[in-house]
Structure 1
């Protein structure tokens, strides 16, 4: 069952969007006084019948209903993860392909052999990165990714990526998950600078848009940029294959 606190935040978001007070929603679905307040605070789990009434009254789309009825599990199951990896494994093993697989929670599930080799990452360490949030993998020096970033561009690159994560892992659907991840990052180098920069870039839609993703790296002493492309998997749409391509030198 979905986390009651996350469920409550989603219902509150949809209710406020519909411009209904808690009392108005209670009255329209014949609920007892204070029930909606208790649901939104995560104190009670509503019955399926109550959920159906709320969804109907708030005129939710099928996707929005799914977010309430937990038709999509909170986190991907092992079966979903295995299926997603199988769907993209041919790409991940292809020589020269630079990319990695993440789910809708920004959790890393696989990385291509060529990407691991290019970044000179220890395979054993990368195995420990599987199942971690992508921001943790970026920020934590023990994973080795941050050492490949251009230190002069690192703060801005990671701030834009963090702003995207913040926008996509919004509290209406994901509860306090993003804030929980941020707390894990506080002790790492550059984090405070990056979070300060996030506040400066997050309102810039063009900067935060997926189409402008680019990384600045230093590989074997040479500065290069890599563009990013995101593609949802056809059979497993909760997952995305992130491809890094078009390496270009810069000064």
Structure 2
């Protein structure tokens, strides 16, 4: 066999090896990305209900505060009216932080529903931190994340599962740990003023409507009573 033929055979063999390796690498990459995407979708499904419940509870409390004069019950029930409302804010941020931590290294789901979810999350984040209204109830993006991160703990029955701190645990820590409660001081002050009708609630009325949208998106199987989803009136800017 001539050297030219030998070289040609070697080149063909090398090219075949390269093509095989490239094809194998491509399919492995495709399989890995597909697995990552499926895991991302599974996590969205896993945290759908905690986020739904947190969003529903918060929108309901904001509606009651802004449109139903819920703040008048502050007398003798400050622990519930103020502290529990702070917890409802933090609970939403906590479950959102947990989802973000879980999916940060995965391919994002680009389905229409997922895009709509993240669009609403971004709208809420932006409205909390926006300068377009007054400073009442303004939470910078970093503070929103911090409030959520502070609430994350590990499930008592499963050390590998992150969850949101329960309200009883939150209340004890809020009352006993000054460094912890300091993070919520601005929100507490705004809620106190809202309860007494001395602050502007425009931001909360807008955000409450976005939470209603989020609940409607997440509640695809009708877990919540849709008749209980009421949007705050527009135009009123003082607490009742």
User: Which of the pair has the greater relative contact order for Cα pairs under 8 Å at 6+ separation?
Assistant: 2
The alignment's TM-score, normalised by the length of structure 1, stands at 0.31
If each structure's helix is expressed as a fraction of its own residues, which one has the higher value? Answer: 2
The alignment's TM-score, normalised by the length of structure 2, stands at 0.32
If each structure's strand is expressed as a fraction of its own residues, which one has the higher value? Answer: 1
Question: Considering only CA atoms, is the larger Rg found in Structure 1 or Structure 2?
Answer: 2
